[in-house]
Amino acid sequence: MMNILKNIKLFFLIAALLMANMVGAQDSRPNILVVLCDDLGYNDVGFNGSTDIKTPELDKLARGGTIFTSAYVAHPFCGPSRSAIMTGRYPHFTGTAYNLFQNSSEEDKDNMGIPVEETYMSKVLQDAGYYTGAVGKWHLGAAPKYHPNHRGFDNFYGFLGGGHEYFPGKYQITYQEQLKAGNKNIRDYLKPLEHNGKDVKETEYLTDAFSREAIRNIKTAAEKKKPFFVYLAYNAPHVPLQAKAEDLKKFANIKDKDRRTYAAMVYAVDRGVGQIIKTLKETKQYGNTLIVFLSDNGGNTDHGANNYPLKGTKGDTWEGGYRVPMFFHWPNKIVGRSHFDFPVSALDLYPTFVQMAKANIPQGKRVDGRDIMSDVLAGTDFYSDQMIYALRYREGYSDVGGRKGDWKITRMGNEPWRLHNLKEDIGEKKNLSGKYPELLQTMVSEMENWTRDFVRPLWFYSEKDLEYWTDGRMPRYDETFEINKLVTHPYKN
Ligand code: CA
């Protein structure tokens, strides 16, 4: 008996070694490059109709791949949206539906981040043999256990906070001055960039630095003969609006100063993507690389962005808050489908990537999206029977939005519920709630059910919010899902 067991063990050992060898020798699994912009509006790229911002490189990729006209992120602002991309879960289920703060105090830092129990997509890909690199903005926790190097990234270059100044020649001087002055609470936006936990002295305009580092990751993976997963999270065109003179020159015709600077910042991303494409071609990885381009939330229309034809702005649950520009580009696989108009969610990226890497979602881990690749290739609608949600906690009430098929329900602040047919009314102008009260009721009830499993946020924006959660008024507040009640903000003050 013992002998048989030994032989079986030996057999599996040899089989495992053979398989590992095969993977090493001819790993044909695709590379994955995510290019994530920060606060980029729906109309701020050429491929979505921008007439003043030029994005020739992105447009070329978009037109050679598939443009998603109804792509949603899981939350209308930065941190929770990124948490959802990395974990594959709505942030309300992981306690991360608020942004992390600037300069969280040291004692808080250890509890401020996305729970380590939620395995990131990067970790799954790393374990599956991918070379993994994160570049740019993190915003998912600054304590060591939340650091990219502990969350599945072989390599990290960037900053851990929620934003950053763009010109090292300026922010480094300000940082030194504040250090000398004994400021113990220096803004994240001024701190040195880091490479795998060590401060670096960056010399380039931030967007250019991040393009450069993405290229470095791609070259390293080629040398290692490994497929790669690169998460390139530009902080552009998030404020502060700061652009290079050479890029600004291209947009001298734009009169509004904010818009001009914003356009130049987007153009810098485009230039960088052009360089990255050149590297992919040089290293012969271009054909077998899936490039996913998207924004983490809608554009901020107070700071140069344009979400036309969508209503609303970053942070709200009108379409403009969380419907984003997005495309897939993968020459070996995706050809001949220029547009995909059915809804997709950034939550779908996790299971899609895992499938592409021939890996498995960790046992016991839940994901809220699904592998969409075959539907994208076939042009089929897989969300016709499932709602895509957005809910933002305000103090004392919530903004909510839910899309199913062509229909969307929206409740913003103390306004009554609205119902729109997005196919005919993408700008959410014509409220059809009076015409289809039953449809409204069904969708609102479905949305309410979705909130039943929300968990307590790990951090709150305010003492008031914490109080509302503790006494049970959050997460639903009495009025939010009551169609005939107006939200009166009774808890304010
Ligand atoms: Ca953002």
pLDDT band at 383, cuts 50/70/90? confident
pLDDT of res. 470:
95
pLDDT of res. 476:
82
- Residue 492 falls inside a structural domain: no
* 125 and 38 in a common domain: yes
* 392 and 373 in a common domain: no
Beta bridge partners of 329: 291
Positions marked catalytic: 78, 139
| Mean pLDDT computed over every residue of the chain | 93
Q: What is the pLDDT of residues 182-215, one digit of tens each?
A: 998 899 999 999 999 999 999 999 999 999 999 9
151: pLDDT strictly greater than 80: yes
- Across 330-354, b (16+ Cβ under 10 Å) vs e yields bbebbeeeeebebbbbbbbbbbbbb
Residue 433 lies in domain:
388-480
pLDDT of res. 12:
57
* 58 and 200 in a common domain: yes
Percent helix, strand, coil in the chain (nearest 5)? Answer: 40, 15, 45
- Residue 395 falls inside a structural domain: yes
- Residue 89 falls inside a structural domain: yes
pLDDT band at 493, cuts 50/70/90? very low
If we measure between CA atoms, which residue out of 123, 144, 143 comes closest to residue 134? 123
Find all residues with CB under 8 Å of 161, minimum gap 6, and list them: 100, 102, 137, 138, 139, 142, 188, 189, 191
- Residue 255 falls inside a structural domain: yes
- Residue 9 falls inside a structural domain: no
- Residue 490 falls inside a structural domain: no
pTM of the model: 0.93
* 412 and 359 in a common domain: no
pLDDT band at 385, cuts 50/70/90? confident
* 394 and 374 in a common domain: no
Distance 441 CA to ligand 1 centre (A): 32
pLDDT of res. 21:
46
Question: Mean per-residue pLDDT for 62-80?
Answer: 98
* 400 and 372 in a common domain: no
Distance 406 CA to ligand 1 centre (A): 26
Q: Structural domain tally of the chain? A: 2
- Which has the minimum average pLDDT: 105-119, 139-153, 270-284? 105-119
pLDDT of res. 109:
75
Q: For position 404, which CATH number holds?
A: 3.30.1120.10
Domain end marker among 331, 357, 378: 378
Domain end marker among 378, 404, 425: 378
* 404 and 372 in a common domain: no
Domain end marker among 378, 408, 443: 378
- Which has the minimum average pLDDT: 243-252, 356-365, 405-414? 405-414
Question: Mean per-residue pLDDT for 80-107?
Answer: 90
Distance 316 CA to ligand 1 centre (A): 12
- Residue 48 falls inside a structural domain: yes
Question: Mean per-residue pLDDT for 401-413?
Answer: 95
- Residue 2 falls inside a structural domain: no
Distance 296 CA to ligand 1 centre (A): 5
* 410 and 347 in a common domain: no
Distance 110 CA to ligand 1 centre (A): 23
What number of other Cβ atoms are within 10 A of residue 184's Cβ? 7
Percent of the chain residues past pLDDT 70, beyond the cut = 92
Question: Mean per-residue pLDDT for 256-268?
Answer: 98
Question: Mean per-residue pLDDT for 217-241?
Answer: 98
* 223 and 333 in a common domain: yes
* 359 and 394 in a common domain: no
487: pLDDT strictly greater than 50: yes
* 78 and 121 in a common domain: yes
* 241 and 368 in a common domain: yes
- Which has the minimum average pLDDT: 56-70, 95-109, 165-179, 323-337? 95-109
* Count of residues making up the chain: 493
Q: What is the pLDDT of residues 207-220, one digit of tens each?
A: 999 999 999 999 99
